Structure 1
Amino acid sequence: MAKVRDVLEALDRITGGRCVKDTEDIYSGSHKFVIRKSSDVPGKACLETPGLVCGDPEAEVNKIAVTMTLTECNIELAGATGVDAIIAHHPVAEAANTGGVTMRTYLGLYGVAVFELHEAFHGLHPGIAFIHGHQAIHADIAFGGVPGNILFVGRALKGVNTLGDIIGRLDYFMGMDEEKRMLMAERGARGCDAIVETNVATGGRILVGTKESTVGTIIHIFPHTGFTAEHLAQVKSRFPEADTVLASISRVNADHPLVAKAEELGMNFIVGNSHAMEILENGMPLAIALQILLPEVEVVLFRERITATPLTMAGTPAIREYARDIAQQYLVNRAADDAKEVKRRAGTAG
């Protein structure tokens, strides 16, 4: 029977020893992958601690779920389906990832252990580059000295000659036809043609160039990690043969400085898979590796579909009526009543 500590050992093996082994790794400041993430929003910094975040190392594990970001939906699904451990790619923070309540209380309710990896998993395999049609000849997971600022420079694979080839390759690997059928089925079931969904809405897109534009050497970037137009100029000077910028995981709009810089440098610019697809790019290889190392444990993939529905069509008629009544009686009117009370008190005080 596998235990939580066996899962940790497997993750440490997968990452080449990058997991936290004890609290000294967290507080000493010497562990390369214990990284504080902060954009100086007061009180919202997060410390990445790859490995076991919460759980009893001696607890038994029969079923593992691999997910991208821990949410209350993940925890509830785990509790309802007998999952003993969740491996989250992204870092986990108290309350932020556990429905606004303390982590030990919520996870303890269902006996679920939680692990995280994130930066400790990055750079371990060439899969994201492969899916996007190139083989990396250079990789950096902290370009410019910025932790997590990942950069690949790659040569286009055989058969990938144009930007259109990259778009077609992404559609094939990510099953975009299936995603579109899923969306059409949901629209039909809910009787609302205005529903939109993340994977369909964020497919590959060409921002500079055409489907016929040729591709040879690709600068593959991830804009949300802090990659800037200045960084792009530096990479281009080092790899002058690069003809294409490919942004994936996160995306940019056509008026972004990165796009302008690429155009200035005479390069194509294409947007690849969004962050919503990383569960397949990174999550699935991790899940299969765990299954190989822990064959006695069942491993499942937690996938989330995020949709946007017009408010007038969201939910059932009963829940819409309920929501209108609550909003009117307890939220909108209360705000107006509070304002009147403040005004009355001000008049009395005068």
Structure 2
Amino acid sequence: MEKKVFVRDVLHTLDKITGGRVVKSAEDYACGKNPFVVTKTSNIPGKAVTELPGLIWGNPDQEVKKIAVLMTLTESGIELAGATGVDAIVAHHTIADAANSGGVLLKTYLSLYNIALFELHEAFHGLHPGISYLHGHKAYHVDIKYGGIPGNIMYVGEALPEVKTVGDMLTRLDKLMNTEFEEQFLAKEREIRGCDAIEETSVKARGKILVGKGDNPVHKIIHIFPHTGFTPEHLEQAVKEHPGADTLLATISRVKPGNALIAKAEELGLNFVCGNSHAMEIMENGLPLARAIKMYLPEVEVVIFRERVTSIPLEAVGSASIQDYAAMIAQDFLVK
């Protein structure tokens, strides 16, 4: 007889995966009790959100036969879960009531489809060396508050034996991310929709070289995340602390032309490479998490909800009739 799995079993599994980091009782909400219960804010009134790794909504005694793993919960994810028989959603990023559920309450929306909801985020970070591995290096030094700034993460690593040049780094990424397929898929979508102006994140924000050439050698890599507050002064100090560094790698976020980090990399004689954007985190964190859940709970079906975002010119969206509808609504009700 096949073993039944319940919501409480999923919570226990996530606790094992994270090494005990999830919220398991009311005591974990106490100030400082669980370091992964953290409030994040840009000081915009009313927009702060608190991370609560573990079960966000659901009955611990509910049976679970199908789990969906995704990065960021949206109403589209909830609707897909409801339409495909998903009993539990495991979201990587922080959940905010209504914001992640189409402007309506999580409790009413999720209860309607009988879906349990979990989140992990910071409780999952730091558990594996995946982002370094994907980009072709093995980190020997990690600083999670470089320059004294909490969250300003910097890795320093040695290139893997098979990664000898800057070009090897990008070739490796393209193969792992299946970029050729994504390009073909986008080309087919443009053809079907009759619109060459459609863009898609994984193709448009793929890895690229900002400073250096593809055949430049790579040995020691300083790996940063620009959105965390890494500055040119930090880079100058990091090069002093790690002699022999020849390549600067930016992942998750990236810099645009004119950014001071580019000029500093040139000044210091570094290659500068942009790797995976945040849009590819489903591969870095989502896929390993889903695999781990399946290994612990082989009785449960596990699926990946992968977000695909495209940019389409206003005039090319939808059918002629929906375009007429939009023009009518705008003209008669919205343009005063």
Identify whether the pair has TM-score above 0.5, normalized to the shorter chain: yes
User: Separation in 1 of the partners of 2:282 and 2:256?
Assistant: 23
Larger radius of gyration: 1
- TM-score, normalising length from structure 1? 0.92
In structure 2, the residue matched to 1:197 is 200
Residues 108-257 of structure 1 aligned to structure 2 (within 5 Å): 108-257=111-260
Q: CA deviation at 1:56?
A: 1.2
User: Separation in 2 of the partners of 1:105 and 1:27?
Assistant: 27
Q: Report if the CA contact (8 A) 1:35-1:49 is conserved.
A: yes
Matched, 1:51 2:71: no
User: Separation in 1 of the partners of 2:72 and 2:176?
Assistant: 22
**Which SS does the other structure have where 2:133 is aligned?**
helix
- One-letter amino acid of the counterpart of residue 179, structure 2: M
Matched, 1:320 2:323: yes
Count of residues in Structure 1 that have an aligned counterpart in Structure 2: 333
**Closer, same or farther: CA 13–172 of 1 in aligned 2, 3 Å:** same
In structure 1, the residue matched to 2:73 is 70
Q: Report if the CA contact (8 A) 1:123-1:141 is conserved.
A: no
User: Separation in 1 of the partners of 2:105 and 2:30?
Assistant: 21
- CA deviation profile, 1:102-140 (whole Å, cap 9, x unmatched): 111111111111111111111111111111010111123
Worse overlay, 232-241 or 205-214 = 232-241
User: Separation in 1 of the partners of 2:269 and 2:122?
Assistant: 32
User: Separation in 1 of the partners of 2:296 and 2:147?
Assistant: 35
- CA deviation profile, 1:267-314 (whole Å, cap 9, x unmatched): 111000111111011100000000000001000000011001111111
Structure 1 runs of 4+ with >4 Å offset: 144-147
Gaps of at least 5 residues in structure 1 are: 336-350
In structure 2, the residue matched to 1:345 is none
In structure 1, the residue matched to 2:87 is 84
Gaps of at least 5 residues in structure 2 are: none
In structure 1, the residue matched to 2:45 is 42
Worse overlay, 219-228 or 318-327 = 219-228
In structure 2, the residue matched to 1:26 is 29
- One-letter amino acid of the counterpart of residue 111, structure 1: N
**Which SS does the other structure have where 2:128 is aligned?**
coil
**Closer, same or farther: CA 279–228 of 1 in aligned 2, 3 Å:** same
- The answer to which structure has the higher helix fraction is 1
Q: CA deviation at 1:145?
A: 4.8
Q: CA deviation at 1:16?
A: 0.8
Q: CA RMSD in A?
A: 1.4
In structure 1, the residue matched to 2:304 is 301
Q: CA deviation at 1:320?
A: 0.4
Q: CA deviation at 1:237?
A: 2.5
User: Separation in 1 of the partners of 2:229 and 2:82?
Assistant: 36
- CA deviation profile, 1:201-246 (whole Å, cap 9, x unmatched): 0111111111122111111111223333333233222212211110
User: Separation in 1 of the partners of 2:229 and 2:266?
Assistant: 20
- TM-score, normalising length from structure 2? 0.95
Identical columns (%): 60
Q: CA deviation at 1:144?
A: 4.2
User: Separation in 2 of the partners of 1:226 and 1:267?
Assistant: 20
